[in-house]
A and B are shown apart, each in its own frame.
Chain A
């Protein structure tokens, strides 16, 4: 019997659209907008009113939408979310906001509101506050050949008994050419549970594959 974590839900946001095992499947063409959408996209797709969504940068929106697409509020009761971890990995970090903020410095017009979002972990906070996730939070930095570190780190926390559930994934958003970094837009998020936790797995544990997130994307589409 496998003692690997159980994946209860998956959400994907990329240049095609938004897909999730909770049932959402919509393209940006259908939404008549460019990825990752407009300030109204979260409400339009998920029916979720969100007073602060419009302040989010592209990285935050991409991650928030992907987390929503997992259906995590339906998968995890509020009391479970009190100890649910939130762990992501990223190769490009908060680079878009970094560039925007740096350009503001060059003009001597400091964009102070952007500064907190120059930390790649801030977008995790945007997910945490929307879903009441009060467990450990961590943002891992990875290279392109290190995919799946967030999954493996979440498994450690599960094995160690610190948590029974986790929201885990990758987010990389970069819309311009930057040397040594890959442009693109993608967030893949899954809801994990300990192997013996309540709930049905939607896909096998993929963390040992070269591109574990490809397997998660396939299960959504």
Chain B
């Protein structure tokens, strides 16, 4: 019988500040962390805003290159604390990021964008047993890392595993998105008719998974799956094939039908292409109207390698609160109407299963179903 992976602890830090409760309360209250750029204000990029870590939540003297390490460690510590501080010397780490640490590329440091080296630093800082794995699979990395952790528990390799996604904004990242002309000059508006592109954010999200049901916060991973659009390395399939496959396969792996899903957290980057195709793909996958759906990149910004774990935490919160928060920035949706986009907070008549979907460059797709 396949062993279950229960969520035992969560941790987060993002543009709203430190702490899972800070994140969840802010998102469900409809607040927005996309503020005028401060730490990155000197960078000439085509956006006024970003979801930067507030100045008072990380030591101001920290080198920007150390932010992914520091933030990752903060999130991990909170997750371990929520779980009742199990013996961390027996727990290994799986880390997700997009660009890790770049001090060697941008200056005299030793960082050359190695996720494994970042993971080793985070694990050492937190006092963990070591690193199981480190990945960089674009913006689906966080969900994929959670899947890797769940699989190790299911197969009996480990009893607990700490999964963290972490990324921090810098010139490398901001200039890249700016150069691709996919940034909204103002806070992004996912799925809205007037959306103009992404907003970016700093972030780290951590989830401690455990085989022990007694350690659960009341959530387990019910199923997950990956897919690939296999059509273009930056643009999505026009019918949203890949994200639809990820969603439907995750539900299938959970032993459920699409109708069993009560809430969905979207990828929702606010680019014209992503949101349009995501709505079509999910509408097709759900064969009609989707469950109530929300995305939160209009509030935290796109936190890249941290997006999967942070947004998984928010999916869990929607189940626990039995409420779907509104899609901030959405006033006039112009995507496939089969996607049930919540515009005002909505109580869920049933809140047992939620799904998180994620996409990334390279056609990478991932879906994960949580059970409350």
**Which A residues form the contact surface with B (CB < 8 A)?**
85-86, 91-95, 98-99, 101-102, 105, 110-112, 115-126, 128-129, 131-143, 146, 149, 153, 156-157, 159-160, 162, 178-181
Given contacts A115-B179, A149-B133, A162-B253, contact A137 B172 (CB under 8 A): no
* Partner among B136, B152, B241, B366 whose Cβ is within 8 Å of the Cβ of A93: B136
Given contacts A119-B138, A120-B136, contact A102 B106 (CB under 8 A): yes
Q: Would you call A160 and B137 a contact (CB within 8 A)?
A: no
Closest to A92 in B: B112
List 11 A-B residue pairs with CB atoms under 8 Å apart, sorted by A's residue number. A116-B362, A122-B138, A124-B362, A125-B233, A125-B364, A134-B230, A134-B242, A137-B228, A141-B117, A146-B116, A180-B112
- B245 proximal to A (CB < 8 A): yes
Interface string of B83-119 (1 = CB under 8 A from A): 0000000000000001110101110001011111101
Q: What 5 A-B pairs have minimum CB-CB distances, sorted nearest first?
A: A136-B226, A125-B362, A112-B179, A115-B176, A141-B115
Q: How far is the CA of A125 from the CA of B360 in the complex (A)?
A: 10
Q: Would you call B116 and A160 a contact (CB within 8 A)?
A: no
Q: How far is the CA of A117 from the CA of B180 in the complex (A)?
A: 12
* Partner among B134, B181, B229, B362 whose Cβ is within 8 Å of the Cβ of A140: B134
Q: Which of B132-189 contact A (CB under 8 A)?
A: 133-138, 144, 147-148, 151-152, 154-155, 171-172, 175-181
Q: Which of B259-315 contact A (CB under 8 A)?
A: none
Q: Would you call B154 and A160 a contact (CB within 8 A)?
A: yes
- B225 proximal to A (CB < 8 A): yes
Q: Would you call A134 and B148 a contact (CB within 8 A)?
A: no
If A119-B138, A139-B136, A141-B116 are given as contacts, then 20 extra A-B residue pairs at C-beta distance below 8 Å, sorted by A number, are A93-B112, A101-B176, A102-B172, A110-B179, A112-B180, A121-B137, A122-B233, A125-B232, A125-B233, A128-B230, A129-B233, A129-B363, A137-B365, A138-B135, A140-B135, A141-B115, A141-B119, A153-B148, A160-B154, A181-B112
Q: Would you call A116 and B152 a contact (CB within 8 A)?
A: no
Q: Would you call B230 and A160 a contact (CB within 8 A)?
A: no
Given contacts A139-B136, A149-B133, A159-B155, contact A98 B226 (CB under 8 A): no
Q: How far is the CA of A111 from the CA of B178 in the complex (A)?
A: 11
CB neighbours (8 Å) of A85 from chain B are 226
CB neighbours (8 Å) of B176 from chain A are 101, 110, 112, 115, 118
Residue of A101, A129, A137, A138 contacting most chain B CB atoms (<10 Å)? A137
B234 to chain A, nearest CB (A): 5
**Which B residues form the contact surface with A (CB < 8 A)?**
98-100, 102, 104-106, 110, 112-117, 119, 133-138, 144, 147-148, 151-152, 154-155, 171-172, 175-181, 225-234, 241-242, 245, 253, 360-366
Closest to A85 in B: B226
A88 to chain B, nearest CB (A): 10
Q: Would you call B225 and A98 a contact (CB within 8 A)?
A: no
Q: Would you call B105 and A121 a contact (CB within 8 A)?
A: no
CB neighbours (8 Å) of A124 from chain B are 228, 362, 364
Q: Would you call B151 and A156 a contact (CB within 8 A)?
A: yes
Q: Would you call B227 and A125 a contact (CB within 8 A)?
A: no
Q: Would you call A134 and B179 a contact (CB within 8 A)?
A: no
CB neighbours (8 Å) of B154 from chain A are 160
Given contacts A105-B171, A159-B155, contact A129 B180 (CB under 8 A): no
Q: How far is the CA of A162 from the CA of B150 in the complex (A)?
A: 13
Q: How far is the CA of A115 from the CA of B172 in the complex (A)?
A: 9
Q: Would you call B226 and A135 a contact (CB within 8 A)?
A: yes
Closest to B144 in A: A138
Residue of A111, A119, A123, A125 contacting most chain B CB atoms (<10 Å)? A119
Given contacts A115-B179, A153-B133, contact A99 B105 (CB under 8 A): yes
Q: Would you call A129 and B137 a contact (CB within 8 A)?
A: no
Q: Would you call A86 and B135 a contact (CB within 8 A)?
A: no
CB neighbours (8 Å) of A131 from chain B are 230
CB neighbours (8 Å) of B155 from chain A are 156, 159-160
CB neighbours (8 Å) of A118 from chain B are 99, 113, 172, 176
Q: How far is the CA of A129 from the CA of B235 in the complex (A)?
A: 12
CB neighbours (8 Å) of B363 from chain A are 125, 128-129, 137
